[in-house]
Amino acid sequence: MSDVTTELAKEASDKAMEIARLKAENDRLRELVRWMYARMDESSAVQHPYAPAPISYDHLMQAHARARKLGVEVDA
């Protein structure tokens, strides 16, 4: 293969790996949102292994609104 073809193949491989990484992270974050919705009410805070600190209902609603504003579909 030519140098150009080799470089394009490498770039395509790098992009595919980045897409796979982002998909895995998106799946993990969706799971976190579902887990939190299932376990909280307006007066509680929860701790999840993926979360650095307990998350309150208000924080969850703010994060949900920001995600939707960015075009991320968050379903609970």
Looking at residue 15, its pLDDT comes to 94
| Cβ atoms of 2 and 26 closer than 8 Å | no
**For residue 9, what pLDDT band results from cuts at 50, 70 and 90?**
very high
Looking at residue 28, its pLDDT comes to 83
| Cβ atoms of 55 and 32 closer than 8 Å | no
Of residues 73 and 31, more confidence is placed in 31
Give the tens place of pLDDT for each residue, 19-69: 999 988 888 888 877 777 676 655 566 666 666 677 777 777 887 787 778
| Cβ atoms of 36 and 52 closer than 8 Å | no
| Cβ atoms of 40 and 57 closer than 8 Å | yes
Q: Per-residue pLDDT for 13 more than 90? A: yes
Give the chain's length.
76
